[in-house]
Amino acid sequence: MPKSEDNKSERASQTKSFEPTLLQWPSSRLESGSSRPLELFLNTLSALMAVLIIVYVGFLFVYNGRDIAGLPPMWKFIHEFSKLGPTVVPLMFAFVLGRTVRSYAHWRLQNGERIGFLDSLLGSTTMTGTVTTMIDSRHIGISSLVLALVWSLSPLGGQATLRVLLQQLEAQRSSATLPYLDVNTPFPSRFIVSSFGGLQIPVNALFTGSLGASSQVRNSTLDSWGNVKIPMMERLPGYKGPGSRDWVELGEHPESAVYSSLLGIPIAGLPGSGESTFSLETSYMTMGCDLRSGTMDNDTTGAGRIVSDAADQCDSHDLCYKRFTWGAISTIQEPANSTLPPRCEDPQVPARKLLYYNQDNERSTETNHTASLANCTLSTSYVEVRIACSGWDCAPTAVRPSTLTTNPSRNVTFLDSCGDGFEYATGYFLQLFETVTERGYSYGRPSVIQNYLVDPDLALNASAVLTNPPVHSVGGALFSTRLAQLLNTYWTAVIAPEALFLGHPEDFGRLSNQTYNTTLLTTEATVNDRVKTLRYDAGWMAVLVVSVAVLLAAAAAGLALDLRIRIPRLLMNVSTMTRGNPNFGVPVGGGALSDEKRARLLADVRVRFGETEVRDGQYDLVIGDCAEHGGRVATVTKGRVYG
C-alpha cells in the first residue's frame, strides 16, 4: 500500500477514537453591560485613575505661588506622585485606553464592521501595537493616526507630571508685627522687698555674663543672647544734637559704635530667614560727669563724706544713698523741701544729680587712701533706631533723636520710675545693684564695677582689682560712657530677665508679666525673604491637562460602550478561535459564554497551527486540537504544498 494511504488510515483511526474532553457547554444568557459587576468595577477604577491626576492638576492650580513650607499635608502625596508620574501615568493609560479601544472594537463587531478596521483596533491596544499594526498592515488610516496621537500622550503625560511641578526660590515681601521691650517699664514690684531671697540671681547672671563676654561680643551689634543693642547716638560722628531730626548712619561697621548698654532690646516674632527692616522707639540714660581724684579723709573734704552728705538734700537719706563694698552712690532728685511739682509731672523738671566715689587700690601704709570722685548729671536720650536683620542676625543701621511728641522730659530717667510713680524705685534699684558685689569683697577694695570702668577687657579678672590704675585716670568722658553703660545694662536686666534669656521667641506670651510687670511696644517690620515657592510650568501643564482630559474621556467612553455591548466579551486569542471552528473537537453551542468562561473550560485542550486533510490528498493549514491527543491537526510536512 502506498505511504499516503497509510497516513490516511492513521488519521482516520485517530479521528474515530477522539473523545472530546468537554462533553457539554453550560447554558448562559446574554448579559447587558449594566449586569456585569466586574466591568462596572473596572470602569469605576478607570475613572478614579483620571480623577487622581485631576486632583494633582487642581492642587498645582490652587497652590501655585504659595510658600511650600505652608502647604497642607497633602503636599507630601503630590510631591511623591510627581516623582512616580513617569511610571504610573503610562500604566494608567495602558489600563484605561487599552480597555476603551477593546470595548470600541467589541461594539463595532456587534454592529458589524470591516475586518481591516477591527484588526486595526485590536492591534492598537498599546503604543507599540499601534505602530507595528500600521507597519504590518501597510495601511495608515485616520483611525490609526488618531490612536497613535492619543497613545503618544501616555509617555508625554508621564513626563508632564514630573516636569510640571517646579520648586523655585522667589522673593517674597511681607510684614510682621514685632513686640519689643519698653525700657520705660516701671520698676518691678517683685523687687520691692526687704530681702530678695534669690530673686536677684537671674538679674546678676545677665549683668555679670555681659561684663564677662568677649570683646567681640561686647562690641558687636547683639548681646550674648541675640538681643539687638542700641547705639549711643551722642558718640557717633555726624550727631548734631538733641534738636536735630537727621538720621545718623552707622556705616558699614556698626560694631565700631559705642552701645548704650551691654544688653540689647528683646524682640519677639523675628523671622528666622529673610531680610527684615524696622525701626524702634526706645531710650537710654546718658551721663555727663566731672571726675577727679579725692581722699578718704573723714572730714568734710573726704570723698565718702561728700557723697553721703549730698543725700541729706533728700527727704529721706536712705532713698538717695547707697553704700557698696567699693564705695557709694548718691542720687539727688531735687533740693530738700522743694515746692516743685513731682518730677514725672513737671515739664521743667531739673536734671537728676548722681554722686559717685570708690576707694582706689593704692598699696600704701598711709591712713588716707586716694579715691575717685564723680559728680554727674543724668538725662535720657529718646531715639528712633533703624534695624536691619538677616534672619536673626540684626544690626542697627541708623539712629536719630525721637520725633515723638509724647516723650517725657529728657531730665526724667528710669530712676524716676514714671510708669507707676513709685518714688522709692531709686533706693530699691541701688539696693539690688549692691548684690552684684556684696559677697567676696572687703570694704574699700575695687570690684568688677571698677575693673570695667578702667578696662572692660579685665572686668572679671581677679587680679585686676589689685593692679588696675585708679578709676579717675580714665577721664571724665570715658567714665561717663562706661558708668552709663553699666547702669543701663543693670536696669535692662532688672525689668526683663525672662525676655532677655529667651533669645528669639515667637512672642512674649509666656512671660511672667504679673511678677515682672514688663511692658512691651510693637513695631511693623518689612520682611523680604527668598522662599521655596510652588510653581507649575505652563507648557507641561498644557500637556498634562490634555492628557488627563483624554484619559477621562476614554474612561467615560469605555463605560458608555460597555453599557451598550450585548455580545460576550472576546479575548481575541486562541479561545476566541474555537468559536464555530470545525477543527476543534468541542461540543456544539456555548456561543453565549464569554471568552473568559470558555477559556477556563478549554484550558487543558492542546492546540496546534498545523496541517489537516480537507479532501482526499489535499491538505491545508489550520488551527485546531493536536492529532496525537485525539484531535485533527498534525505537524506540517516539509515540502508539502497546501491549498
pLDDT digits over 30-80, tens only?
Answer: 566 555 788 888 889 999 999 999 999 999 999 998 888 889 999 999 999
Model confidence at 223, pLDDT cuts 50, 70, 90, reads very high
How far is Cα 170 from Cα 69, in angstroms, rounded to an integer? 13
Q: What is the pLDDT of residues 92-104, one digit of tens each?
A: 999 999 889 988 8
Handedness of CA 46, 51, 52, 57 (dihedral sign): positive
Q: What is the pLDDT of residues 438-462, one digit of tens each?
A: 765 456 778 999 999 999 999 998 8
Q: What are the φ/ψ torsions at residue 292 (nearest 5 degrees)?
A: -150, 170
How far is Cα 444 from Cα 84, in angstroms, rounded to an integer? 79
**pLDDT score, position 19:** 45
Question: Nearest to residue 120, comparing CAs of 146, 153, 143, 100?
Answer: 143
Distance of CA 579 to the CA centre of its chain: 66
**pLDDT score, position 33:** 59
Question: Nearest to residue 489, comparing CAs of 229, 216, 214?
Answer: 229
Model confidence at 29, pLDDT cuts 50, 70, 90, reads low
How far is Cα 624 from Cα 622, in angstroms, rounded to an integer? 6
Q: Residue 161 burial (CB < 10 Å; 0-12/13-18/19+)?
A: buried
191 pLDDT higher than 50: yes
Q: Which residues pair with 128 in a beta bridge?
A: none
How far is Cα 2 from Cα 19, in angstroms, rounded to an integer? 29
238 pLDDT higher than 50: yes
Q: What is the pLDDT of residues 305-332, one digit of tens each?
A: 888 887 777 766 667 888 898 889 998 8
Quote the percentage of the chain above a pLDDT of 90.
Answer: 41
Q: Which residues pair with 534 in a beta bridge?
A: 167
**pLDDT score, position 112:** 72
Q: What is the pLDDT of residues 593-604, one digit of tens each?
A: 877 677 778 777
How far is Cα 92 from Cα 554, in angstroms, rounded to an integer? 11
> Which is higher by pLDDT, 297 or 537?
537
Question: Nearest to residue 318, comparing CAs of 308, 327, 303?
Answer: 308
Task: Decide: 239 and 199 in contact? Cβ < 8 Å.
Answer: no
How far is Cα 482 from Cα 486, in angstroms, rounded to an integer? 6
Q: How far is CA 357 from CA 95, 286, 352, 375, 470, in A?
A: 93, 18, 17, 9, 11
Query: What cell does 229 get?
Result: 543693642
Task: Decide: 538 and 302 in contact? Cβ < 8 Å.
Answer: no
Q: What are the φ/ψ torsions at residue 601 (nearest 5 degrees)?
A: -70, -30
Q: What is the pLDDT of residues 379-418, one digit of tens each?
A: 999 999 999 999 999 999 999 999 999 898 899 998 887 7
**pLDDT score, position 259:** 96
Contacts of 560 (CB under 8 A, 6+ apart): none
Q: Which residues pair with 382 in a beta bridge?
A: 283
∠ CA 602-605-611 to the nearest 5 degrees? 125
How far is Cα 508 from Cα 90, in angstroms, rounded to an integer? 54
Question: Nearest to residue 117, comparing CAs of 109, 125, 128?
Answer: 109
Three-state DSSP class for residue 406: coil
Query: What cell does 286 get?
Result: 546718658
User: What value does the mean pLDDT take over residues 126-138?
Assistant: 81
**pLDDT score, position 564:** 82
152 pLDDT higher than 50: yes
Query: Which of 20-34, 99-113, 282-296, 500-514 is predicted least confidently?
Result: 20-34
In the 8-state DSSP scheme, what is residue 190? Answer: G
How far is Cα 235 from Cα 230, in angstroms, rounded to an integer? 12
Task: Decide: 498 and 252 in contact? Cβ < 8 Å.
Answer: no
How far is Cα 312 from Cα 316, in angstroms, rounded to an integer? 7
